[in-house]
Amino acid sequence: MIEYQHTLKSSVSVQGTGLHTGQYGTITFVPAPPNHGIKFKRIDLPGHPIVEALVENVVDTSRGTTLHKNGATIYTMEHALAALTGLGIDNVLIELDVEEIPILDGSSRQFVDAFEQVGYIAQDTEREYLIIDKEIRFVDKEKGSEMIITPCDAYKIDVKIDYGTEVLNIQFAELHNITDFKKEISPCRTFVFLHELEFLLKNNLVKGGDLSNAIVFVNRKVSQEELDRLAELFHKPKVKVKDEGILNNLDLHFDNEPARHKLLDVMGDLTLIGKPLKGHITAIRPGHYANTELAKLIKQQIKNQ
């Protein structure tokens, strides 16, 4: 059966604050013609430079995936890209008036809601899949990451995370049918350990964080004085540690929500290959660096064929 490329029926915008820059902006997703792919357009810069959503344009993966080209930078685009891939939307122009895609609730859910609000339609051009015909593997011994993709007639992802801490045990997540993305993966929010949050705060690196867009795991004893300081920083009346070892800023959607969010990130980063995939990804302790390195290896293999 022939599968056709898809785009949005009409433009749709979301507004919000970037997690790291603190910039409040508007992001508009605009329908695009067949074979356009996914591209960003910085409408706040002279000449409105275009940055293609391609792994060749990745310049940093330290706190999210960052793209740069033509003097324009795009921060933290992985959650939006995961939503597009999860819904099978191939062609879209993303106009933004700031550097960073809004963090919203830390998941892909609000992007999915926006796309479904306007709908998406099939185009008159066949979808071209990138089909994996042999195993490709990336290993980062320093970070304990391993990324493997093997031949498969569908798009499947299995994720395992293990951070060696009791508060966040070994977790697994899977997506074996892309139609499950909306319900099972898109609502899953980013997470952070308290010591990482404190480092980011001290270095002024989470200007857009407000404790409503991340699960915070507490992996050490914390005094009430520290909790009060966190409450003040994030404008909360009170912060405490729940029995599950997370702050009381939110409730988990799933017991394995962190692993599911890592799967979401894998999807977003692998969208940077530029074509939909057919292959089975196994990701062990994935991160943006490992995800994008696997994407580069996949593209290199295709070039060499």
Spatial strand order in the sheet of 72-75: 58-60, 66-69, 72-75
Report the alpha-carbon distance of residue 230 to residue 234 in Å, rounded.
6
Report the alpha-carbon distance of residue 93 to residue 31 in Å, rounded.
6
For 53, 67, 282, the CA distances from 296, given in Å and listed in that order, are 13, 14, 16
In the chain, how many H helices and how many E strands?
Answer: 6, 18
Dihedral of CA 14/15/20/23: which sign? positive
DSSP letter assigned to residue 15: E
For 146, 216, 273, 283, the CA distances from 210, given in Å and listed in that order, are 32, 11, 32, 29
Report the alpha-carbon distance of residue 302 to residue 305 in Å, rounded.
5
Closest among 42, 45, 65 to 54, alpha carbons compared:
65
DSSP letter assigned to residue 188: P
Which residues are marked as active site? Answer: 288
DSSP letter assigned to residue 39: E
Report the alpha-carbon distance of residue 155 to residue 181 in Å, rounded.
11
